[in-house]
Structure 1
Amino acid sequence: MSSHMIADRLARAIERNRVPDLHAVVAVHHGQVVIEHYGEGEDFRLNEPLGHVRFTPDTLHDIRSVTKSVVGLLYGIALADGRVPKPHEPLLRNFPEYPDLAADPRRAALTVEHALTMTLGLEWNENVPYTSTANSEIAMESAPDRFHYTLRQPIVEEPGVRWSYCGGASALLGRLIEKGTGVALKEYARARLFEPLQIERSEWSAGEDGVALAASGLRLTPRGLLAIGRLVLAGGAGIVPESWLAEVLRPRVRIDEGFNYGYQWYVGDTWTGGFGNGGQRIYVAPALDLVVAVTAGQYDRPDQPTASVVLDEVILPGIVG
């Protein structure tokens, strides 16, 4: 199907209100752009209203929890530099400032891989809106020390067994990168990932302590988001070590049927991706030689179908149909 037909399919979906709050979509198939669309609507920088925005190729957009997937790539770059601990190493060994926590033998057994796979076994709940401190990520960001807050949460199940969504895990990984490299996370990302990918525009929202929010704070343009997906499709593109990317994308813990988690990336049977609150999405389908980036404004809603509809009803039928 031609890009013109995919555009027609998207126009029909918009007309039928199948993709509410769609802000942008860019897709590349066999190296060629098959759709690039920009909409308009209400937007936010985390919980800060930005008003009504007309989106363009240069408009930065929260990618929310796709930030975690970028941190997963950065960890591999830092690991190849010998700057961060290997996945099997104990987490608390790298946080000697918390001797009170290391004294607990169950907690001392937590590894970096438990953070990479979100299998820390800690009490953690992000199933409420990200506007409330009842949400563990918001409570973490409101704490005097987000890393101590995360590491001191009660262990409620055996680590390494069950995937449980945890922004604190990503915050810990970001901290390990900063500790090991001696460079602020956003600067390390700019120098080692964004500039090599020719991503010229980015922002990284920070907490009150000035530290970049590794779980949800990154802002990219849709083309920047797409560039991250194209790097994954290209096996790391010489920027992320190919051996690390293979580890990142290996299914390690089952979330649901045909839906697994690797190292900060979701892994399906035929695709891999990053997901963010509101409908932010990177979708990579290697067998189809396809990469899709979606941004949307369905933040904090219980049902956020727009990104899935764009993929399932607009782009994939146009590629495989």
Structure 2
Amino acid sequence: MTDELRGRLDEAIAAGHLDGLHGVVAVRGGETVLEHYGTGADTTWNIPLGVVEFGPDTLHDLRSVTKSVTALLYGVALGEGRVPNPGASLLEQFPQYPDLAADAGRRKLTVGHALTMSLGLEWREEIPYDSPDNAEIAMELAADRYRYVLERPVVEAPGTRWHYCGGATALIGKLIADGTGQPLPEYARARLFEPLGIEHFTWIEGADGVASAASGLRLAPRDLARIGSMMLAEGMDLVPAGWLRTMLEPRLKTDWDAMYGYQWYLETLAERSIVMAAGNGGQRLAVVPELDLTVAITAGNYDDPEQWRTPAALLEQVILPALA
């Protein structure tokens, strides 16, 4: 770690700009340039873990960063011919719901609409995740999570706008599991994690035994950073380079004016273009191609309306200025 990075990190911590920070690993050009771990209260899917002293091997909830990893796995499966292309009809992949497929308002849904979170279905996920009124929690509690998503009321034409929806990612996860014949964690282990040297992870399951494609992955920051480095290396023959380009093509604008591709955000921070995976509480995987840099961040500010401030300060005040 350079003296400038350490100095900027210490200053930001002392100023209270990095409250709730649990860990950060920054890798540039294959070299770790920053690694820091803190101590603090943590939970896993709202189950208290007490005060945790975080370290290099401590697994951490990634929450919705999981969505972006699921999109990578979709690209792997697509390259193997095991899942439909984004232009395929979505309801045709769920023949168990002929009544939904008969609805003219749903027949236009494609896999791409799920990948871009533009299904046009009613979905309320702005409610705290400890409430059953939150649509993702309601999905986890439903007898059939996929029907729950697909039968939500139609509120607008698909593809009209981006609207945050963990249910869309659940559908993508189902397509991967069905197409590969493997539960999502097993496919991830064989096709992505083990080839990257990621030995330890957990993937939280719902009551139905299905791993949550939207928010269930737990990794250590070092291993999350490996995924970012893989992306900088154009997939390392694990994820097709063509899929990475397609996945990261800006398609729709988010509520805060970032762009969205297939389950990844495309943002600008400190005048740098950043590919971002983001999760509740301040979880981030930031990939900065211009600097050959990947940054993995874990934090514990779950459900805090200001949770974005800690990872933003870490990137804008500490890391990017020191490495520009």
Coarse TM-score class (shorter-chain normalised): over 0.9
Instruction: Tell me what 1:319 maps to.
Output: 323
Q: CA deviation at 1:256?
A: 5.4
**Bigger CA drift: 254-263 or 120-129?**
254-263
Q: CA deviation at 1:31?
A: 2.3
Instruction: Tell me what 2:80 maps to.
Output: 81
For residues 140 and 111 of structure 2, the distance between their equivalents in structure 1, rounded to whole angstroms, comes to: 21
For residues 67 and 110 of structure 1, the distance between their equivalents in structure 2, rounded to whole angstroms, comes to: 23
The code of the aligned residue for 1:195 comes to E
For residues 112 and 234 of structure 1, the distance between their equivalents in structure 2, rounded to whole angstroms, comes to: 27
* 1:112-145 C-alpha deviation (Å, 9 max, x unpaired): 0000000001100111110001111011111111
1:296 equivalent to 2:295? Answer no
From 304, 311, 314, give the equivalent of 1:310: 314
Instruction: Map 1:165-176 onto structure 2 (within 5 A).
Output: 165-176=164-175
For residues 268 and 19 of structure 1, the distance between their equivalents in structure 2, rounded to whole angstroms, comes to: 20
Same amino acid, percent of matched pairs: 57
The code of the aligned residue for 1:186 comes to P
Instruction: Map 1:44-59 onto structure 2 (within 5 A).
Output: 44-59=43-58
Q: CA RMSD in A?
A: 1.1
**Bigger CA drift: 271-280 or 22-31?**
22-31
* 1:22-44 C-alpha deviation (Å, 9 max, x unpaired): 00001012322111001010111
SS at match of 1:49: strand
From 278, 281, 287, give the equivalent of 2:284: 281
8 Å CA contact retained: 2:30, 2:229: no
The answer for unaligned runs of 5 or more in structure 1 is: none
Instruction: Map 1:1-321 onto structure 2 (within 5 A).
Output: 3-255=2-254, 259-269=258-268, 270-304=273-307, 305-320=309-324
Q: CA deviation at 1:7?
A: 1.1
Q: CA deviation at 1:257?
A: 7.0
For residues 289 and 192 of structure 2, the distance between their equivalents in structure 1, rounded to whole angstroms, comes to: 21
* 1:80-105 C-alpha deviation (Å, 9 max, x unpaired): 11111110000110101111101102
The code of the aligned residue for 2:290 comes to A
The code of the aligned residue for 1:103 comes to A
For residues 257 and 286 of structure 1, the distance between their equivalents in structure 2, rounded to whole angstroms, comes to: 22
SS at match of 1:83: coil
For residues 46 and 274 of structure 1, the distance between their equivalents in structure 2, rounded to whole angstroms, comes to: 18
For residues 118 and 102 of structure 1, the distance between their equivalents in structure 2, rounded to whole angstroms, comes to: 19
* 1:255-279 C-alpha deviation (Å, 9 max, x unpaired): 2576100001111251101000000
For residues 293 and 183 of structure 2, the distance between their equivalents in structure 1, rounded to whole angstroms, comes to: 33
SS at match of 1:310: helix
For residues 257 and 24 of structure 1, the distance between their equivalents in structure 2, rounded to whole angstroms, comes to: 26
For residues 173 and 55 of structure 1, the distance between their equivalents in structure 2, rounded to whole angstroms, comes to: 32
**Bigger CA drift: 248-257 or 69-78?**
248-257
Aligned residue pairs: how many? Answer: 319
For residues 67 and 3 of structure 1, the distance between their equivalents in structure 2, rounded to whole angstroms, comes to: 31
For residues 239 and 130 of structure 1, the distance between their equivalents in structure 2, rounded to whole angstroms, comes to: 33
8 Å CA contact retained: 2:250, 2:261: yes
TM-score (norm 1): 0.97
For residues 253 and 232 of structure 1, the distance between their equivalents in structure 2, rounded to whole angstroms, comes to: 21
Q: CA deviation at 1:60?
A: 0.2
The code of the aligned residue for 2:274 comes to W
* 1:199-224 C-alpha deviation (Å, 9 max, x unpaired): 11110000011110010000000011
User: Relative to 1, partners in 2 of residues 1:257 and 1:14: Cα closer, same or farther, differing over 3 Å?
Assistant: closer
The answer for unaligned runs of 5 or more in structure 2 is: none
The code of the aligned residue for 1:291 comes to T
SS at match of 2:105: helix
